[in-house]
C-alpha cells in the first residue's frame, strides 16, 4: 500500500488516507450561513475519497469575513446550517475540519469574480481591524480601507471570538480545527513585520509578534477537546527581504508544538500585495518548507501547493516532508482525484467508493 493511502491518526481521529482538501473560499454563504452550494461542493469532495476536508475560511465574527459571501460561526443558526453538510460528508468516511479565521484588514472585500477589491461602507462594506492602521493596498483603482489599530481590549475580544467559534464548531460536529494564521489575514498580520508596526507587547520582536497567535491557540485549547486535532496554517515566507522568512516560521512552529498544536499547514504569502498570493508561481516550493518544519521541529506537517499528481504526492510523503498532502485547485477540477490517484498507485480504488459506484464501476474510476 502507498503511504498516500495508508490510514493516519491524530489523537482520536483516524483519516482513511493522507489526502486533504485544502480550505477554499466559495463565496456562496449569506449572512455567514452555508448553503446548498456547500452541500454539493463538500459532498462531491467527500464522495471523491479525500480523507480530510478543511472547510473554507470561516469567520469568527461578522467583521472577520473576507467578503459578504464568506461563512461564519458567530451565531447559533450558522451551527444548524453546517449540520447537513457535515452529516453527508462524514457518512462518506471523511473527516470534517474547519478553518477558523478573521480577515483583519483584508476583510470587507467584494467577491472576486465581481471585483475582489475593497467594498466601501456605501457598498455594504464594514470597518476593518489590524495590528496597525495602514491599509492593505492601493489596488490601482481605489484605496483599501484604513483599518483600526487594535487596542488590547480588541485583541482580547478577538481571542474570545475564536473560543466561541471553536465551541460552535464542536457543536456543529467538526472533528478538526485549523486556525488560519496565513495569507495576510489577522493572525498573520500580527506575525509579519510588513504589517505589524506596534511597539507594545504584541509588536517588535518575533516573540512579541507571535504573542497574538500563541494566546489565541491557548484560548482555543480551553474550548476544543484535547483528544481532537488542532492545526495552524502558517505563511512560511512573506517572499520579500523585510518580511517573514522560513527560519522565523520554523521558530513559530516550535512554539506551537510546545503548546500542543498537532499539525502545521505550510503555505506562503499574502501579507502585502508585494509578498505574493497563496496561488503564485512560487508555491511549488511549499512542500520543501513543510519538510523543514517537520525535520527541525518534529511536528506533523501538511504540504500544499501545485500538487496534482499521485506519484508527486506519494514522493512528498515518502521523503518525509509531510504527514498529509492538501490539494485545492486539483480537487476543484476533479473531486474524484483520490480515486484516480489510488488507481495510479495500485491501491484499493473500490474502498473509496460508495456501494453503487463499487458495484458498477469498481476498479475503473
Ligand X SMILES: Cc1cc2nc3c(=O)[nH]c(=O)nc-3n(C[C@H](O)[C@H](O)[C@H](O)COP(=O)(O)O)c2cc1C
Binding site residues, ligand X, CB under 6 A: 22-25, 56-57, 99, 180, 182-183, 233, 267, 278-279, 283, 304-307, 327-330
Nearest to 69 by CA among 129, 105, 113: 113
Q: Residues 193, 204: contact at Cβ < 8 Å? A: no
Give whichever of 132 and 312 is closer to ligand X, judged by the CB atom: 312
CA distances from 315 to 212, 285, 302, 309, 324 (A): 35, 14, 13, 10, 11
Minimal distance, residue 311 CB to ligand X, in Å: 16
Q: Give the nearest distance from C-beta 76 to ligand X in angstroms.
A: 23
Q: Which of 62, 8, 2, 4 is nearest to 33 (CA)?
A: 62
| Residue whose CB is less far from ligand X, 281 or 364 | 281
Nearer to ligand X, 159 or 278 (CB): 278
CA atoms of 30 and 50, how far apart (whole Å): 27
Q: Which residue's C-alpha cell is 491557548?
A: 218
3-state secondary structure of 41: helix
3-state secondary structure of 55: strand
Which is nearer to ligand X, 243 or 353 (by Cβ)? 243
Q: Are 277 and 305 in contact (CB under 8 A)?
A: no
- State the minimum distance, in angstroms, from the CB of residue 288 to ligand X: 14
Nearer to ligand X among residue 182 and residue 186 (C-beta):
182
Q: Which of 27, 176, 185, 202 is catalytic?
A: 185
Strand residues in the chain grouped as ranges (E): 8-10, 13-15, 19-21, 52-59, 95-101, 129-130, 148-149, 176-181, 230-235, 263-267, 300-304, 324-327
- Minimum distance of ligand X from residue 58's CB (angstroms): 8
Told to judge if 185 belongs to the known catalytic residues of this protein, a careful annotator would answer: yes
| Active site positions, annotated | 185
Amino acid at each position: 500500500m502507498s503511504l498516500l493511502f495508508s490510514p493516519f491518526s491524530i489523537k482520536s481521529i483516524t483519516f482513511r488516507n493522507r489526502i486533504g482538501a485544502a480550505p477554499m473560499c466559495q463565496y456562496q454563504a449569506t449572512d455567514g450561513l452555508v448553503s446548498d452550494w456547500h452541500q454539493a461542493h463538500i459532498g462531491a469532495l467527500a464522495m471523491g475519497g479525500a480523507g480530510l476536508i478543511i472547510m473554507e475560511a470561516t469567520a469568527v465574527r461578522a467583521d472577520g469575513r473576507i467578503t459578504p459571501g464568506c461563512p461564519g460561526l458567530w451565531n447559533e443558526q450558522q451551527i444548524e446550517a453546517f449540520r447537513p453538510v457535515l452529516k453527508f460528508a462524514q457518512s462518506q468516511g471523511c473527516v470534517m475540519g474547519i478553518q477558523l479565521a478573521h480577515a483583519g484588514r483584508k476583510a470587507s472585500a467584494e467577491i472576486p469574480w465581481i471585483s475582489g477589491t475593497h467594498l466601501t461602507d456605501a457598498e455594504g462594506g464594514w470597518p476593518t481591524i489590524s495590528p496597525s492602521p495602514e491599509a492593505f493596498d492601493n489596488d490601482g483603482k481605489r484605496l483599501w480601507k484604513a483599518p483600526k489599530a487594535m487596542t488590547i481590549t480588541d485583541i482580547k475580544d478577538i481571542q474570545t471570538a475564536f473560543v466561541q467559534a471553536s465551541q460552535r464548531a464542536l457543536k456543529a460536529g467538526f472533528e478538526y480545527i485549523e486556525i488560519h494564521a496565513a495569507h495576510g489575514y489577522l493572525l498573520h498580520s500580527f506575525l509579519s513585520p510588513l504589517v505589524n508596526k506596534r511597539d507594545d507587547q504584541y509588536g517588535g520582536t518575533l516573540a512579541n509578534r507571535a504573542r497574538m497567535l500563541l494566546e489565541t491557540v491557548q484560548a482555543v485549547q480551553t474550548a476544543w477537546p484535547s483528544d481532537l486535532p488542532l492545526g495552524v496554517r502558517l505563511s512560511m515566507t512573506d517572499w520579500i527581504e523585510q518580511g517573514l522568512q522560513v527560519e522565523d516560521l520554523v521558530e513559530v512552529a516550535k512554539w506551537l508544538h510546545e503548546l500542543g498544536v498537532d499539525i502545521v499547514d505550510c503555505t506562503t504569502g499574502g501579507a502585502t500585495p508585494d509578498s505574493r498570493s497563496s496561488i503564485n508561481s512560487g508555491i511549488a516550493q511549499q512542500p520543501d518548507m513543510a519538510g523543514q518544519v517537520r525535520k527541525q521541529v518534529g511536528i506533523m506537517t501538511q504540504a500544499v501547493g501545485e500538487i496534482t499528481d499521485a506519484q508527486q504526492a506519494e514522493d512528498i510523503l515518502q521523503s518525509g516532508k509531510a504527514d498529509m498532502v492538501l490539494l485545492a485547485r486539483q480537487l476543484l477540477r476533479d473531486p474524484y482525484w483520490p480515486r484516480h490517484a489510488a488507481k495510479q498507485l495500485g491501491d484499493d480504488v473500490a474502498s473509496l467508493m460508495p456501494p453503487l459506484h463499487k458495484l458498477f464501476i469498481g476498479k475503473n474510476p
